[in-house]
Chain A
Amino acid sequence: MTQIIQITQIVWFIPLIPFIGFIITFLIFKKFSNAVSKISTIFSGICVLLSLYSVYLVYTKGSFSTEIVWYITGKYYISMGFVADGLSTMMLVVVSIVSFLVHLYSIGYMHKDSRFGLFFVYLQLFSASMLGLVLANNYLQMYIFWELVGLCSYLLIGFWYEKKSASDAAKKAFLTTRVGDVGMMIGILLLFLNTGTLGFTKIFELVEKGFISGSVITASSILLFCGAIGKSAQFPLHVWLPDAMEGPTPVSALIHAATMVAAGVYLVGRSFPLFFASPYAMTVVAVIGVFTAIFAASIAIVQTDIKKILAYSTISQLGYMIFALGLGAYVAGLFHLMTHAFFKALLFLGSGSVIHATGTQEITEMGGLAKKMKTTTWTFITGALSLSGFPLLAGFWSKDEILGFAFDNGRYIFFAIGAFTAFLTAFYMFRLVFVVFGGSLSQKSEHAHESPKTMTIPLIILAIFAIIAGYIGAPFIKGNIAFGEFIKNGIHIKHTEFNFMPMVISVLLALMGILLSYLMYQKKTIPKDWLYKYVKPYYTTLKNKYYIDEFYSKVIIRPGIKFANLINWFDKNIIDGFINIIGKATVIISKGIHLFDLGVIDGFVNWTANETYNSGKRLRKLQTGNVSAYAIIMFAVCAVYIIYLIIRFKF
């Protein structure tokens, strides 16, 4: 018993530490911005240690959870608690490591910013909320932290709020994700209505025992998935993520690449027993995921903003994870979540280093940076290789596991689209690499120099992760089985045997992608504007991101505003106008007729209307003193009226 209490306390502390950090830094950030940056970095460092310890605890002692009743309403108990198992502690480690490195990096990256301290305050709040989300043991609690990370995302996207584009992007991010959250909330309500509980364990138990009807399972899974679509920027709610790149680059790395956007994947992973019980829901998940994967990758190949390319890449990779889960590849999907967090954070931080040095985000204005920034270059290339699925790097293992699963289970269409996406991924990543780092120095690259140590050290650490993180789940050392066993938390999963065929195909496609971009952008033996030349309409469609934003603007936002204007007009002229019309009409009627003769209610209405009508005209001119006389008359009339009523009832 004492043992359990000890463990409990440690897991509690993981989100609590950055929360305390948030309160401390919030109180002093105005005066001591430097101290704030250091305090918060230390706090997130402690989180890393505790998270690693929690993994050790779960690994040696098994998973554990606690909950307490938060309040009672009617006959229902609303509880809060946490669950520490393989899945949540794996997430804790990922979140806390990336968060710590981003804190460290930001000390260098943000030091000239006028709101340097505030930045760390927000980062602390985000870390606390994200860690809380991961540890939640029920849907309501998850939703609470889910919204809080959304708040932090809003604050950090709009961090440079003087720019209209930044405040627009922040607003768009919050609203778009909230559309998904509405679905999620209905899903939660539906689950509660049918199970009487919000806790994960109890719901999954009931699902397994077959106490819940299939249609409820399907409906609630799909509704919960709406939340994931919003948060993980899946089609059709992906539009906010590219715009979210308005935020400072460390934020893009932490929130919009590694952690918060993966929360949707985590939600599906956490709810896997529920989703798995409905083949229909699983299909929806898989289709949305695979479509998003190829859809976003195709946009990425024509973008020229370094962060936008990475943003579309993130959307595409999240689609990979989602479709893996939808196919039933639980372990592979979450494995990819983990490896992706490291190499995508690396790529974003690397791009931040490049932006820091050149002062631009347009890749066409960069070039030849390999000569100026050694560490940034080789770490970035490591990340790009890892993302492309280059053999033996982290991304290779996880992506291969997903594609292998699709292949083994005969889902050849998914395999084909996934493999083709891998080709596109390698292509756009190395297009980026060759344009930015290769070639001759551009004007803006002339004065570039390597970033300070606080920025390069996180890059090096993440590069190491981008190489080795895959070995946790690598099949040849039976890592896939060990990792799967660790995170499965009671789910019956199928371990796939290592399959040579799909691996060879996907590696070859990736290499072809790299080769093609090499020929186009480094050697320049293939003209780089062939797409523009030969299929111009498609090129423009890609450039305009398939016109999704324009579609929303035309079909939802503008009509919405028009409708709101109509409502306002209706309110002023019809509803409020109605009262005036009554007033005008009754003036005519009441002229010849004595008030009391009309009968009780009519008389009062007439009198009221009459006064309303006249007061509008006359009373504006009156002095306040006269108006008080008016009110007294009204009260007197009212009193007379009450007396009349009582008499009428023959009392």
Chain B
Amino acid sequence: MNFNILSILTFLPILGMVIIAVVPNKFERSAKWIALLNSLVLLGLSIYLWTIFDKTNALMQFEEKFRWVPGVNIYYHLGIDGVSLPMVFLTCLLTVLGILVSWNIDHKPKVFFALMLLLTTGMLGVFVALDFILFYIFWELVLLPMYFLIAIWGSSNRMYAAIKFFLYTLFGSVLMLVGILLIFFNSGLKTFDILELANSNSLNLAVNLQNWIFFLLFMGFAIKVPMFPFHTWLPDAHTEAPTAGSVLLAGILLKMGSYGFIRISIPILPDAAKSWSPAIAILAVIGIIYGALASLIQKDLKRLVAFSSVSHMGFVMLGISMLTPTAINGAVLQMFNHGCITGMLFLLVGMIYDRTHTRLIEDMGGLANKLPLWAGILAFTSFASLGLPGLSGFWGEFLVLFGTFNKGSTFAKVMVYISILGIVLGAAYLLWMLQRVIFGNANEKLHDLKKFSWLEFITLAPLIAIIILVGVYPAPILNIINNSVNYILNM
């Protein structure tokens, strides 16, 4: 491919950022149009990418590889397979929606939209990079714009949340870097290339060292996911971030962690993955139940959704820990679905916050009569989130449970027995939330609510469509995932 579509995709937002930067301040209102145009082009490119992607091919496609830093064997190496393609598409889609939902931002719009685009480059880079150092650079690149998005446009306690987010994840990623360097210096291959490392059977690492490296990478990825007990940065960051920030944080940033496990930890350190598998499974299952219980009694709507992410990402990690194709298919599908569904929940919460200026559940009520369309979509999304069959959330959870149970071991079965309670708890906190937010009589404090706008509906419509389509017929996306997951596990 001479077209270099992945490079264009990844660095196009930088171009948009530069254009926004040179726009004179008095035209700062044009920034959002530039950002929107840019993100729409990205979305178009990602859809085009999906159409030209060879669905029967499990290998990396659209690869680009150039020697970048010759002395240390660092390459500029990009490529995508069936695991990264859905994430690339989701990133582009949620970026567009994040920009749309931020349409009325008037505090430093130039900086805001420039940061959004920088963030996009970072996120896309993580999902297309195939060289460790490149991966690491993109990984860290994501931190900076997100930090500023929270710190400048967040709510009351934004400083604390932003610093906590930044330091906590930085802590993890530095451990990850140590892991990367240990592989480089000890594997005998002297390469940072993820594919080469994964493909080589001669990875000359002592078992003990493998386990240590896995642990270091685990710290980086698990904090990002976040897995219990490294999750405490998440409720603060989600709650304080502006809507677009929460959407991308939940929709994409968390997935970078689980993606890391599938792309790096499992293929490069398969033996260590096996020995760490029970520990990860246990933490994942604790996370499922713990997150759901914590969601149950949250008073802040946004915090409730944040804790529900801990629970849902627990399913993703349970699937990954099982190391079987079906369970990991479920995990990847759940990553995609959680991105859509939780992204949508944050969009909805943001929309109601714009009207009520409160996120406290007790201040709401009766919104089904006040804002019927918004309430209907919230109910729809909640049902998708609690895993109602026919909507996308079901298949991810089902495949994770199915794949886990099919391992047949007592341990795996027990994991299913416990985690399946998360499904009941999931229904409990979501239905209770719905009851208090949309049912009942309208709260007196809520009056003169702005009508639900077309712009808002358009922001939500693509996600509604995806949730239904994947929910009814998951084959188109699942086949792509399945091919590559099978390949990764057989490497």
Please list the residues of chain A having a beta carbon within 8 angstroms of any beta carbon in chain B.
70-76, 140, 143-145, 147-148, 151, 154, 158, 161-162, 164, 167-168, 170-171, 174-175, 178-179, 182, 185-186, 189-190, 192-193, 560-561, 563-565, 567-568, 571, 575-576, 579, 600-601, 604-605, 608, 611-612, 615-616, 619-620, 622, 624, 627-628, 631, 634-635, 638, 641-642, 645-646, 649, 651
Contacts and interface: CB of A to CB of B under 8 A. Distances in A.
A631 B148 contact: yes
Contact of A167 (B383, B398, B417, B435): B435
A148 B293 contact: no
B439 interface: yes
A651 B192 CA distance: 15
Given A178-B423, A579-B168, A646-B181, 13 more contacts: A70-B475, A71-B479, A74-B326, A147-B389, A151-B388, A171-B435, A175-B424, A186-B417, A189-B402, A575-B232, A616-B163, A619-B160, A645-B178
The contact size tier of chain B is 35 or more
Contacts of A615: 159-160, 163-164, 167
A511 to B, nearest CB: 46
A73 B174 contact: no
B441 A571 contact: no
Interface string B409-436: 0000000110011011001100110010
A179 B424 contact: yes
B435 A628 contact: no
B181 A645 contact: yes
Q: When A and B form their complex, which 8 residue pairs have the shortest distance between CB atoms, in order from nearest?
A: A74-B325, A144-B389, A71-B475, A161-B439, A167-B439, A189-B405, A615-B163, A576-B232
Contact of B383 (A75, A151, A164): A151
A73 B420 contact: no
A570 B181 CA distance: 36
B159 A627 contact: yes
B163 to A, nearest CB: 4
A592 B417 CA distance: 52
A578 to B, nearest CB: 8
Given A175-B428, A624-B152, A649-B185, A604 B174 contact: yes
Contact of B486 (A74, A145, A178, A193): A74
B177 A620 contact: no
Contacts of A182: 420-421, 423-424
A345 B329 CA distance: 45
B196 to A, nearest CB: 19
Interface string B286-327: 000010011011100000000000000000000000001110
A608 B417 CA distance: 39
Given A74-B486, A179-B424, A638 B435 contact: no
28 contacts: A71-B474, A73-B325, A74-B324, A74-B403, A75-B325, A144-B394, A151-B388, A158-B439, A161-B440, A162-B369, A164-B440, A170-B435, A171-B431, A182-B421, A186-B417, A189-B401, A193-B405, A568-B297, A575-B229, A576-B232, A601-B175, A615-B160, A620-B160, A624-B151, A627-B151, A628-B148, A638-B140, A651-B185
Interface of B: 72, 140, 144, 147-148, 151-152, 157, 159-160, 162-164, 166-168, 170-171, 174-175, 177-178, 181, 185, 229, 232, 290, 293-294, 296-298, 324-326, 329-330, 366, 368-369, 383, 388-390, 394, 398-399, 401-403, 405-406, 408, 416-417, 420-421, 423-424, 427-428, 431-432, 435, 438-441, 473-475, 478-479, 482, 486
Given A608-B171, A616-B160, A171 B368 contact: no
Given A620-B160, A624-B151, A624-B152, A148 B390 contact: yes
Nearest to A146: B389
A168 B435 CA distance: 8
A74 B485 CA distance: 8
A102 B72 CA distance: 76
A176 B394 CA distance: 19
Contact of B296 (A564, A619, A645): A564
Nearest to B390: A148
B239 to A, nearest CB: 13
B132 to A, nearest CB: 13
A627 B162 CA distance: 10
B420 A185 contact: yes
A71 B478 contact: yes
A579 B473 CA distance: 45
Contacts of A179: 424
The winner among A143, A189, A641 for most chain B CB atoms within 10 A is: A189
B366 A612 contact: no
Given A567-B293, A571-B294, A73 B478 contact: yes
Main secondary structure of the interface of B (DSSP, over half): helix
A193 B408 contact: yes
A74 B329 contact: yes
B325 A161 contact: no
Contacts of B178: 600-601, 645
A610 to B, nearest CB: 10
A631 B144 contact: yes
Contacts of B229: 575
A226 to B, nearest CB: 12
Nearest to A71: B475
Contact of A649 (B181, B296, B297): B181
Contacts of A579: 168, 232
Contacts of A567: 290, 293-294
Given A144-B389, A624-B151, A635-B144, A73 B399 contact: yes
Contacts of B440: 161-162, 164, 167
B293 A563 contact: yes
Contacts of B405: 186, 189-190, 192-193
Contacts of A158: 439
A568 B307 CA distance: 10
Nearest to B292: A564
Contacts of B428: 175
Given A72-B479, A74-B482, A565-B297, A608 B167 contact: yes
A624 B111 CA distance: 12
B177 A73 contact: no
A72 B482 contact: yes
B326 A76 contact: yes
Given A611-B167, A615-B160, A186 B420 contact: yes
Nearest to B333: A73
A177 to B, nearest CB: 10
A192 B402 contact: yes
A608 B173 CA distance: 13
Contact of A634 (B166, B298, B438): B166
A23 to B, nearest CB: 11
Contacts of B431: 154, 170-171, 174-175
Contacts of B171: 604-605, 608
A192 B297 contact: no
A126 to B, nearest CB: 13
A154 B383 CA distance: 11
Given A73-B325, A186-B416, A565-B297, A148 B388 contact: yes
Contacts of A560: 296
Given A162-B369, A567-B294, A575-B232, A178 B383 contact: no
Contact of A73 (B296, B368, B482): B482
B327 to A, nearest CB: 9
Nearest to A650: B185
B488 to A, nearest CB: 12
Nearest to A577: B232
A347 to B, nearest CB: 29
A561 B423 contact: no
A387 B412 CA distance: 48
Contacts of A620: 157, 159-160
A145 B389 CA distance: 8
Nearest to B177: A642
Contacts of A185: 401, 420, 423
B441 A561 contact: no
B390 A144 contact: yes
A161 B401 CA distance: 34
